[in-house]
């Protein structure tokens, strides 16, 4: 076991230089070798046919890769990683362009993993690491010979449904793994491909979707004329919901790519800038809202089935916030960008105030709500949403520790969804939507409620499960989302990378290390399952796919983050300077 000193978050909040913005110094904008620069759009799917290769036919590529792995011929081109003890979170977040910037880039198809083979690594290479890389490479999807993403799952024992597609959200951990391993080209290809798909007309029946909508997923279809790409914007998805998260993940990934490589030429391309503006114009559009949160349909994100998350789900609000912050760094003022930058700034302030104030829950806040008066009218109302205290579910009184807190699932008129949602809370830490005190309290909650939120297999996607009549009403009697299964209280190994990133940002990597140990005890033996069922996540999920790519990639990202925490800067941002702390009272959990 390694002794890790806490990284000081405060260091990163106030003292970090405002180093990542459009007025970046030359050094930050330095270009990568010429291979990187000539971004031509020759990847159009209507071009000349080429041999059709997809993941199933990647054997050549994989064999090449395996040969290299077996020879052990790849040593890291980078200097050995720094131990966590010597890294300040300031370094992780802002000061380092990237550990990979300026590296000779490697191809995603035929190179060996660096992880696990690092000379002088303080970490014993776990055998699962090499296995994970092997599986991750098998999941590559090629379009006209170029890798453009990874397939959701490579499980031949189950009906593929849409698991044979490249999902935008699923690709994020894969992309981060490749970036951390010095292989940015697949990420660039993916970003450009998704941009192309965004430009297509999107219709469901007689209705045309917003121009900025990004696909939930796409598949490469081989034909006699060559490969074509078929996207799904929600028109084929179960429930027909458009993925609100895809556009946000795309922007977040664009920044990760830029931060990791130091290469701004991709983000600066007029088409990419336009793609960003299109996404922003949907989510910053004026409407009837009285709040800065983004109003959503049920099932519009990782939880893509009816689960009662309609309204203002924390997952989307946290991604929205992080994506706005990333766009602020990447957007150029030209062509209307300036106006968007102004709108972003205003929205960021309003959104952070709103979420920090009204979504935050801890022992003290719960007690306040428990004593709420109702039917208050006028500006002076304390119970602004007219939440009836009787609507507070029983479980939350027992669940709430004296030390710890979290952002609840949803807030809307007379409705607070007190459920815990892992992804939204972790992203709120990474984007600094949470105040430093709130960040620490969320990590406290993980520790205080370990068996509920981590259990035997990390991590609970949501807690607790809906049961009985509530399950019937809220999910529409969904047989896939029965209690403690799938989205309804199931456990998802992919969430490990988010926990790891959050625990490094808050200076508590030991939390991630404990969770990783649990994953290493089972995940590979269980065939890299998609999710686990049961209160403690003990059972491989009823309908869980095996060789689920994001379970594999999530594990790799966690390992690489712990090995070299400077990678954190790709997906985390220091506190947004202008957002004032909300007027929330400090709870016992923050001072304890």
Residue 363: which of 393, 403, 392 has the closest Cα? 403
**Which residue has tokens 């007219």?**
386
Contacts of 468 (CB under 8 A, 6+ apart): none
- Cβ nearer to ligand GLC, comparing 174 with 566: 174
- Cβ nearer to ligand GLC, comparing 89 with 246: 246
Question: C-beta of 109: minimal distance to ligand GLC in Å?
Answer: 22
The answer to the question of residue 172 lying near ligand GLC (CB under 6 A) is: no
Structure tokens at 324: 């706005």
How crowded is the C-beta side of 43, counted as CA atoms within 13 Å? Answer: 23
Question: C-beta of 162: minimal distance to ligand GLC in Å?
Answer: 7
Query: What SS3 state is found at 221?
Result: strand
Judged by CB under 6 A, which stretch of 73-81, 85-93, 161-169, 326-334 contacts ligand GLC? 161-169
Structure tokens at 304: 């893509």
Question: C-beta of 425: minimal distance to ligand GLC in Å?
Answer: 17
- Cβ nearer to ligand GLC, comparing 166 with 511: 166
Give the max Cα distance, the chain: 73
Q: Give the whole-angstrom CA distance, residue 188 versus residue 521.
A: 34
- Asked whether 33 and 105 are in contact (CB, 8 A), the reply is yes
- Cβ nearer to ligand GLC, comparing 306 with 508: 306
Question: C-beta of 456: minimal distance to ligand GLC in Å?
Answer: 21
Q: Is the CA virtual torsion 202, 208, 210, 211 positive or negative?
A: positive
The answer to the question of residue 167 lying near ligand GLC (CB under 6 A) is: yes
Judged by CB under 6 A, which stretch of 162-170, 355-363, 532-540, 565-573 contacts ligand GLC? 162-170
Task: Measure Cα distances from 452 to 466, 536, 564 in Å.
Answer: 14, 7, 29
**Which residue has tokens 């894969």?**
174
Contacts of 419 (CB under 8 A, 6+ apart): 408, 409, 462, 463, 464
Question: C-beta of 510: minimal distance to ligand GLC in Å?
Answer: 29
Structure tokens at 167: 């999902």
Residue 558: which of 426, 456, 444 has the closest Cα? 426
The answer to the question of residue 478 lying near ligand GLC (CB under 6 A) is: no
- Cβ nearer to ligand GLC, comparing 214 with 280: 214
Q: Which of 20, 94, 170, 232 binds ligand GLC (CB under 6 A)?
A: 170
Question: C-beta of 298: minimal distance to ligand GLC in Å?
Answer: 13
Question: C-beta of 202: minimal distance to ligand GLC in Å?
Answer: 18
Question: C-beta of 545: minimal distance to ligand GLC in Å?
Answer: 7
Look at strands 228-232 and 140-143 and give their pairing: unpaired
- Cβ nearer to ligand GLC, comparing 309 with 408: 309
- Cβ nearer to ligand GLC, comparing 185 with 530: 530
Residue 321: which of 290, 295, 349, 340 has the closest Cα? 349
DSSP strands (E only) in 241-309: none
- Which phi and psi angles does 30 have, rounded to 5°? -65, 145
Q: Which of 65, 144, 146, 169 binds ligand GLC (CB under 6 A)?
A: 169
Question: C-beta of 441: minimal distance to ligand GLC in Å?
Answer: 27
Residue list 269-288, contact with ligand GLC (CB under 6 A): none
Q: Give the chain's length.
A: 592
- Cβ nearer to ligand GLC, comparing 167 with 418: 167
- Asked whether 113 and 129 are in contact (CB, 8 A), the reply is yes
- Cβ nearer to ligand GLC, comparing 7 with 213: 213
Question: C-beta of 493: minimal distance to ligand GLC in Å?
Answer: 12
Q: Give the whole-angstrom CA distance, residue 563 versus residue 39.
A: 32
Judged by CB under 6 A, which stretch of 61-69, 167-175, 177-185, 365-373 contacts ligand GLC? 167-175
**Which residue has tokens 């429930």?**
239
Question: C-beta of 304: minimal distance to ligand GLC in Å?
Answer: 5
Question: C-beta of 169: minimal distance to ligand GLC in Å?
Answer: 5
Judged by CB under 6 A, which stretch of 70-78, 94-102, 166-174, 564-572 contacts ligand GLC? 166-174
- Cβ nearer to ligand GLC, comparing 249 with 418: 249
Query: What SS3 state is found at 166?
Result: strand
Query: What SS3 state is found at 568?
Result: helix
- Cβ nearer to ligand GLC, comparing 247 with 569: 247
Q: Long-range contacts of range 380-389, CB-CB < 8 Å, 24 or more positions apart? A: 384/358, 385/358, 385/411, 385/412, 385/413, 385/414, 385/415, 385/416, 386/413, 386/414, 387/414, 387/415, 387/416, 388/414
The answer to the question of residue 304 lying near ligand GLC (CB under 6 A) is: yes
The answer to the question of residue 441 lying near ligand GLC (CB under 6 A) is: no
Draw the binding track, 124-153, toward ligand GLC (x: CB under 6 A; -: no contact). Answer: ----------------------------x-
The answer to the question of residue 302 lying near ligand GLC (CB under 6 A) is: yes
The answer to the question of residue 573 lying near ligand GLC (CB under 6 A) is: no
- Cβ nearer to ligand GLC, comparing 190 with 590: 190
- Cβ nearer to ligand GLC, comparing 54 with 100: 54
Helices (H), 449-495: 450-453, 468-475
Residue list 200-219, contact with ligand GLC (CB under 6 A): none
Question: C-beta of 492: minimal distance to ligand GLC in Å?
Answer: 9
Cβ-based burial of 127 (10 A; exposed 0-12, middle 13-18, buried ≥19): exposed
Judged by CB under 6 A, which stretch of 164-172, 174-182, 246-254, 350-358 contacts ligand GLC? 164-172
Q: Count residues contacting ligand GLC (CB under 6 A)? A: 7
- Cβ nearer to ligand GLC, comparing 245 with 417: 245
DSSP strands (E only) in 191-290: 203-204, 207-208, 217-221, 228-232
Judged by CB under 6 A, which stretch of 163-171, 446-454, 497-505, 513-521 contacts ligand GLC? 163-171
Q: Give the whole-angstrom CA distance, residue 517 versus residue 127.
A: 13
Question: Which residues lie near ligand GLC (CB under 6 A)?
Answer: 152, 163, 167, 169-170, 302, 304
């Amino acid at each position: 076991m390694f002794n890790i000193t806490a990284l000081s978050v405060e260091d990163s909040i106030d003292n970090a230089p405002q180093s990542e913005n459009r007025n970046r110094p030359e050094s930050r904008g330095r270009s990568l070798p010429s291979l990187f620069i000539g971004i031509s759009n020759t990847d159009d799917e209507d071009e000349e046919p080429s041999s059709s290769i997809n993941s199933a036919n990647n054997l050549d590529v994989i064999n090449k890769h395996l040969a290299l792995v077996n020879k052990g011929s790849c040593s890291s081109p980078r200097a050995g990683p720094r131990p966590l003890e010597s890294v300040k979170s300031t370094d992780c977040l802002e000061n380092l362009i990237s550990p990979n910037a300026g590296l000779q880039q490697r191809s995603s198809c035929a190179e060996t993993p660096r992880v696990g083979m690092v000379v002088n690594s303080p970490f014993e290479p776990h055998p699962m690491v090499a296995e994970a890389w092997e599986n991750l490479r098998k999941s590559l999807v090629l379009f006209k010979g170029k890798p453009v993403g990874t397939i959701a799952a490579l499980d031949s024992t189950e009906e593929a449904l849409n698991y044979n597609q490249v999902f935008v959200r699923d690709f994020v951990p894969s992309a981060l793994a490749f970036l951390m391993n010095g292989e940015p080209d697949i990420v660039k290809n993916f970003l450009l491909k998704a941009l192309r798909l965004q430009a297509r007309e999107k219709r469901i029946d007689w209705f045309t979707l917003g121009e900025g909508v990004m696909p939930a997923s796409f598949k490469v279809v081989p034909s006699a004329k060559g490969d074509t790409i078929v996207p799904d914007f929600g028109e084929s998805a179960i429930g027909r919901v458009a993925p609100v998260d895809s556009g946000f993940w795309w922007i977040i990934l664009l920044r990760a790519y830029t931060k990791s490589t130091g290469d701004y030429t991709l983000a600066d391309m007029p088409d990419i800038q336009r793609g960003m503006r299109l996404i922003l114009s949907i989510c910053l559009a004026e409407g009837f809202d009285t709040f800065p949160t983004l109003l959503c349909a049920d099932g519009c994100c990782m939880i893509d089935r009816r689960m009662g998350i309609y309204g203002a789900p924390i997952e989307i609000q946290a991604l929205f916030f992080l994506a706005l912050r990333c766009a602020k760094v990447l957007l150029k003022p030209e062509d209307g960008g300036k106006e968007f930058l102004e709108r972003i700034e205003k929205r960021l302030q309003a959104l952070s105030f709103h979420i920090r104030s009204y979504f935050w829950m801890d022992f003290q806040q719960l007690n306040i709500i428990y004593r709420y008066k109702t039917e208050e009218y006028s500006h002076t109302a304390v119970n602004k949403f007219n939440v009836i205290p009787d609507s507070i579910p029983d479980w939350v009184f027992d669940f709430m520790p004296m030390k710890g807190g979290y952002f609840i699932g949803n807030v809307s008129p007379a409705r607070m969804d007190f459920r815990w949602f892992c992804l939204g809370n972790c992203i709120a830490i990474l984007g600094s939507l949470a105040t430093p005190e709130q960040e620490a309290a969320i990590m406290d909650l993980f520790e205080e409620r370990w068996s509920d939120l981590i259990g035997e297999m990390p991590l609970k996607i949501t807690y607790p499960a809906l049961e009985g009549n509530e399950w019937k009403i809220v999910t529409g009697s969904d047989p896939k989302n029965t209690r403690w299964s799938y989205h309804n209280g199931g456990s998802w190994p992919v969430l490990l990378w988010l926990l790891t990133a959050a625990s490094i940002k808050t200076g508590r990597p030991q939390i991630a290390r404990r969770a990783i140990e649990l994953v290493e005890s089972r995940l590979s033996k269980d065939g890299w399952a998609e999710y686990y069922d049961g209160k403690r996540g003990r059972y491989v999920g009823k309908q869980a796919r095996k060789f689920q790519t994001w379970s594999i990639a999530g594990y790799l990202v966690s390992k690489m983050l712990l090995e070299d925490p400077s990678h954190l800067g790709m997906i985390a941002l220091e506190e947004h300077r202008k957002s004032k702390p909300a007027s929330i009272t400090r709870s016992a959990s923050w001072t304890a």
